[in-house]
């Protein structure tokens, strides 16, 4: 019996030998891998109170580290917080970080590989660690103008980009919030503020589902630009094609029908050219194109403009993918072709689609970060514009530009016209159920012959009249502000 007891003891010791081995592996041998794991927050939390680099717009910090309390040396502070919240996000001890604070976190904290030498010298010189600063492409005046063009209490987004480079000049949405409320080191206050903000309709502190990059909205008639590109691309249609334009199109396999807008000028003609259909934004010609080409052709074209895709590695913001649904029946396809039903797009997506048309069919990567500077102001990285994808051919882009110009000169987007400049534009009015309220869109660019700025505006839940007042005329103000610079 005693021999068996000794053997049992040895078995127990053997189990313990395994434990000693496992502990050694976790705490010493494999520790570096675990410490470098991207899910491991400990490094971030350890450096939470260090001085982070600033996020800079137009030479002024919109997010910076200011001296904090004794227990935490630096506190993150946001200047003009509501204006830039959608871009900066927040940096919180309790809720992690979002926006650029998250995506540029390593750089701002000084932990990125490019800053390795700075880190070493800080260590040897005994200096406090300090992160790199990030300068944005945003233009503070345009950003402010765009923000003020959305009335308080109105939900909406505005995106302004340079279609040639993809640089984002302004990107705002309302309602916005003050990231300082989340970034406070006072746990109780941060908790209360977070819960309160998340109650506000339209505010979601998760960027993936809110703001210009995350808010998925029915695009309405601005989607017709994709139908047009698909039609021209198919070779079955050209600029002179006569499209069927019944005042109402019976939906196949359904008792419902798709009408043209009753109050508009569409119903004066039985057939329509592209230019007329786009000027007046008639529904039935585009529905018949979609039924003719089939859903795959429309979906492929939407994908080439970015639906179902992300916008490359230069945006540095979380983003939602716009949706053109799968497996549509004919009735659903007809409604989807005019941007209704389950078609959803982010404001950024509509702007990128517009910018691709402006840039001869080539979609540039949208970008926010112009320059990254080390603490000694040395430039670490600088933006180089890159093409993201080819959305359509140069001739088709030029043709659509011509028709969009006509829609501003002669059609229902005329509110966006700027004197002395050719403006290309398209409006959209996506109905929200039977409420009588709509998502009202404008998207366009100027000058049409030498595009320098693409503007996309969406106002959510507005009636037709105020929608018209809040979109095209506001786009005009932004065009003027950018072009007069």
Partner 1 sequence: MIQTDTSPKPRRNVELVLIVLALAVGVGASALVSINSDVGLDRDFWFQSSLLAVAAFAFHMVLRLRAKYADPVILPIVVALNGLGLALIHRMDGPGDDTGNNQLRWTLIAMAVSIAVIWFLKDHRILRRFTYISLAVSAFLLLLPLIPGISAGEILGARVWIRVGPMTFQPGEIAKITLAIFFAGYLSSNRDLILLAGRKIGPMQFPRFKDLGPMITAWLVSIGVLVFQRDLGSSILFFGLFIVMIYVATSRISWVVIGLLLILGGGFIASQIFSHVAFRIDSWINAFTPEVFGRSPGGSGQIVEGLFGMADGGLVGTGLGQGRPDLVPFANSDMIVALIGEELGLIGLFAVVMLYLLLFTRGFRAALGTRDAFGKLLACGLSFAIALQCFVVIGGVTRLIPLTGLTTPFLAAGGSSLLANWIIVGLLLMISNTARGPVDTTPMVGKPPASSSTPGTRKPATGQTPSAPTEAVKQQ
Site mask, partner 1, residues 210-249, x = CB under 8 A?
----------------------------------------
Distance between CA atoms of 175 and 186, rounded to whole angstroms?
24
Tokens of 179: 């990231």
The residue range among 33-41, 101-109, 381-389, 421-429 that interacts with partner 1, by the rule CB under 8 A, is: 33-41
Chosen residue from 9, 208, 209, 252 binding partner 1 by CB under 8 A: 9
The DSSP H or E segment spanning 373 is strand 369-373
Q: Does residue 2 touch partner 1 according to CB under 8 A?
A: yes
Distance between CA atoms of 331 and 129, rounded to whole angstroms?
61
Q: Rounded to the nearest whole angstrom, what is the least distance from the CB of residue 256 to partner 1 in the complex? A: 41
Nearer of residues 28 and 117 to partner 1, judged by Cβ: 28
Window 34 to 53, contacts with partner 1 (CB under 8 A):
34-35, 37, 39-42, 45
Q: Does residue 23 touch partner 1 according to CB under 8 A?
A: yes
Which one is catalytic: 173, 221, 288, 406? 221
Q: Rounded to the nearest whole angstrom, what is the least distance from the CB of residue 26 to partner 1 in the complex? A: 5
The pairing of beta strand 156-161 with beta strand 168-174:
antiparallel
Nearer of residues 11 and 256 to partner 1, judged by Cβ: 11
Q: Does residue 377 touch partner 1 according to CB under 8 A?
A: no
A 10 A CB-CB count for 17 gives 10
CA distances, 345 to each of 248, 317, 341 (Å) = 26, 16, 12
How many residues of this chain interact with partner 1, rule: CB under 8 A? Answer: 37
Got the DSSP string for 192-244? HHHHHHHHSTT--S-GGGSHHHH--B--GGGGHHHHHHHHHHHSS--TTPPEE
221 classed as catalytic:
yes
Q: Does residue 67 touch partner 1 according to CB under 8 A?
A: no
> Which letter does DSSP use for residue 393 in this model?
-
Chosen residue from 18, 117, 262, 465 binding partner 1 by CB under 8 A: 18
- Can you point out the beta strands (E) in 7-154? 55-57, 60-67, 74-78, 91-92, 96-97, 133-136
Nearer of residues 24 and 238 to partner 1, judged by Cβ: 24
Distance between CA atoms of 127 and 121, rounded to whole angstroms?
8
Q: Rounded to the nearest whole angstrom, what is the least distance from the CB of residue 7 to partner 1 in the complex? A: 8
DSSP reduced 3-state for 289: helix
Q: Rounded to the nearest whole angstrom, what is the least distance from the CB of residue 6 to partner 1 in the complex? A: 7
Name which of 392, 159, 463, 402 is nearest 279 in CA terms: 402
Q: Does residue 5 touch partner 1 according to CB under 8 A?
A: yes
Distance between CA atoms of 109 and 130, rounded to whole angstroms?
7
Nearer of residues 72 and 256 to partner 1, judged by Cβ: 72
Q: Rounded to the nearest whole angstrom, what is the least distance from the CB of residue 14 to partner 1 in the complex? A: 10
Q: Does residue 94 touch partner 1 according to CB under 8 A?
A: no
**Which sequence positions are flagged as catalytic?**
221
Report the interface residues with partner 1, using CB under 8 A: 1-9, 11-13, 15-16, 18-28, 30-35, 37, 39-42, 45
């Amino acid at each position: 019996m005693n021999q068996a007891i000794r053997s049992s003891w040895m078995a127990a010791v053997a189990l313990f030998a395994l434990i000693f081995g496992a502990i050694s592996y976790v705490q010493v041998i494999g520790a570096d891998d675990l410490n470098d794991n991207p899910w491991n927050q400990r490094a971030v939390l350890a450096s939470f109170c260090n001085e982070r680099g600033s996020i800079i717009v137009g030479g002024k910090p919109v997010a910076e580290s200011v001296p904090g309390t004794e227990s935490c040396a630096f506190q993150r502070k946001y200047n003009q917080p509501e204006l830039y919240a959608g871009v900066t996000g927040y940096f919180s001890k309790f809720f992690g970080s979002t926006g650029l604070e998250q995506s540029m976190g390593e750089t701002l904290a000084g932990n990125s590989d490019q800053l390795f030498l700075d880190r070493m010298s800080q260590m040897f010189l005994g200096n406090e660690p300090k992160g790199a600063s990030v300068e944005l492409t945003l233009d503070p005046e345009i950003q402010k103008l765009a923000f003020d063009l959305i009335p308080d209490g109105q939900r909406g987004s505005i995106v302004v980009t340079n279609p040639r480079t993809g640089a984002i000049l302004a990107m705002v949405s309302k309602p916005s919030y003050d990231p300082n409320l989340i970034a406070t080191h006072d746990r109780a206050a941060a908790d209360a503020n977070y819960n309160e903000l998340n109650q506000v309709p339209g505010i979601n502190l998760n960027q993936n589902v809110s703001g210009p990059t995350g808010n998925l909205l029915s695009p309405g008639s601005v989607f017709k630009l994709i139908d047009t590109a698909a039609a021209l691309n198919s070779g079955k249609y050209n600029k002179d094609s006569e499209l069927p334009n019944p005042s109402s199109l019976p939906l196949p396999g359904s008792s419902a029908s798709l009408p043209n807008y009753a109050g508009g000028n569409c119903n004066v003609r039985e057939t329509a050219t592209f230019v007329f259909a786009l000027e007046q934004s008639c529904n039935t010609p585009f529905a018949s194109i979609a039924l003719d080409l089939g859903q795959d052709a429309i979906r492929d074209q939407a994908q080439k403009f970015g639906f179902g895709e992300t916008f490359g590695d230069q945006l540095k913001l979380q983003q939602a993918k716009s949706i053109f649904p799968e497996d549509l029946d004919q009735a659903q396809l007809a409604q989807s072709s005019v941007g209704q039903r389950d078609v959803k797009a982010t404001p950024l997506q509509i702007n990128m689609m517009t910018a691709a048309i402006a840039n001869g069919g080539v979609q540039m990567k949208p970008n926010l970060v112009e320059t990254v500077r080390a603490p000694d102001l040395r430039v670490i990285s600088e933006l180089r514009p890159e093409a993201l994808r080819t959305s359509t051919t140069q001739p088709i882009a030029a043709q659509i530009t011509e028709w969009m110009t006509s829609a501003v000169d002669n059609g229902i987007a005329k509110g966006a016209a700027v004197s002395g400049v050719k403006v290309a534009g398209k409006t959209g009015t996506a109905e929200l159920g039977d409420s009588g309220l709509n998502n009202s869109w404008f998207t366009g660019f100027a000058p049409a012959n030498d595009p320098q700025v693409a503007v996309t505006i969406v106002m959510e839940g507005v009636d037709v009249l105020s929608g018209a007042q809040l979109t095209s005329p506001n786009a005009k103000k932004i065009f003027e502000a950018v072009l007069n610079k």
